[in-house]
Amino acid sequence: MAATTPLTKVIVITETHFEQDMLNHFRELGIKGFTCMNCWGQGHHQVYDEPFIGHSQTRIEIITTDAIADAIVDYCRLPRFEAHAVTAYLETVRVREPDKFIS
């Protein structure tokens, strides 16, 4: 089996209107790439549907270093997001080509 490198995947689920601001901040933190997808669900905050775009939440996935992942989670816990449907969590992943994910 080919050698793999452990990295951290950050999953951020946010209200759609925060997506671009968050991605801009995550780029400033040093992410190399990301994947976004529309999602919906129910949790601590009431779920609502955006009437014009058909979804209310975005799931952002980023594979990166522990330090950047921790900074992303810290950002998502800022007071400005406390009253909103924003959550972030971490998973450990193993990749074969870490240069594709980190600088």
Set out the domains of the chain in order of their start, with CATH numbers. Answer: 5-100 (3.30.70.120)
Per-residue pLDDT of 30-49, as tens digits, reads 999 999 999 877 776 555 55
Helix (H) or strand (E) holding 8: strand 5-15
Query: What is the rounded CA–CA span in Å between residue 10 and residue 93?
Result: 10
SS3 27: helix
Please measure the distance between the N-terminal and C-terminal CA atoms of the chain and give it in whole angstroms. 24
Q: pTM for the whole thing?
A: 0.88
At residue 54, the pLDDT reads: 59
| Per-residue pLDDT at 2 exceeds 90 | no
Average pLDDT taken over every residue of the chain? 90
Mean pLDDT of 70-85: 96
At residue 47, the pLDDT reads: 56
